[in-house]
Amino acid sequence: MRAGLIAQGAVLPIIGWFVFMIGYNNVQDYQTTLGVIGRYLSSEAQQKYQMYQLMEAGGGILALVGLVLVAAGLVGHEKHTSKTVKRRVIARGGQRAVRCPVCGCALDITTQSEGKCPECKTPIEVVYEG
Ligand SMILES: [Zn+2]
């Protein structure tokens, strides 16, 4: 669900950007002296001009909404993964026990070198130093 939201959010600004650029480039063309005369003389040109203005505005909004979705998705994703990240505990040479960084209980590193704290269930990774 969350990954799908991010994927959708990533596609929206790309589509939005393309639509915006097509609209923007054509609106620029229609705003030249020749374009203004063309719109004055042809109602079809005037309709196209309005359509490109819509594309410019709609594409811009689509790109912005997509970017907001991506940002929201990434923030949510980060919050989600930070809970499951392993807590590193540094054990110096000759040390047999370390303190759990979350609840402070003693962990026997000869048996608890990899895995969870028996008290608070926090995933622990013991890093040996020295
Ligand atoms: Zn603990």
- 53 or 83: which leads in pLDDT: 53
pLDDT digits over 110-123, tens only? 776 557 888 888 88
Confidence of residue 78 (pLDDT cuts 50, 70, 90): low
pLDDT score, position 18 = 95
Q: Report the separation in Å between the CA atom of 35 and the middle of ligand 1, taken as the mean of its atom positions.
A: 71
Whole-number Å distance, alpha carbon 111 to ligand 1 midpoint, is: 15
What is the Å distance from ligand 1's center to 101 Cα? 7
Task: Specify the pLDDT at position 8.
Answer: 60
Model confidence band, residue 75 (pLDDT cutoffs 50, 70, 90): confident
Tokens 């993964």: give the residue.
Answer: 81
Selected residue with higher pLDDT from 83 and 108: 108
- Nearest to 84, CA basis, from 113, 119, 125, 112: 125
**How far, in Å, from the CA of 93 to the mean position of ligand 1?**
22
Q: Hey, which of 42-46, 74-78, 114-118 has the most confident mean pLDDT?
A: 42-46
Mean pLDDT value across the chain: 84
Residues with CB under 5 A from ligand 1 (ion): 100, 102-103, 117, 119-120
Determine what percent of the chain is predicted with pLDDT higher than 70.
83
Tens digit of each residue's pLDDT (9 = 90 or more) over 11-20:
888 999 999 9
Q: How far is the CA of 123 from the centre of ligand 1 (A)?
A: 9
For ligand 1, the distance from its centroid to the CA atom of residue 94, given in whole angstroms, is: 22
- The rounded Å distance from CA 91 to ligand 1 centre is 16
Per-residue HEC secondary structure of the chain comes to: CHHHHHHHHHHHHHHHHHHHHHHHHHHHHHCCHHHHHHHHHCHHHHHHHHHHHHHHHHHHHHHHHHHHHHHHHHHHHHHHHHCCCCEEEEEECCCCEEECCCCCCEEECCCCCEEECCCCCCEEEEEEEC
pTM, whole model, 2 decimals?
A: 0.52
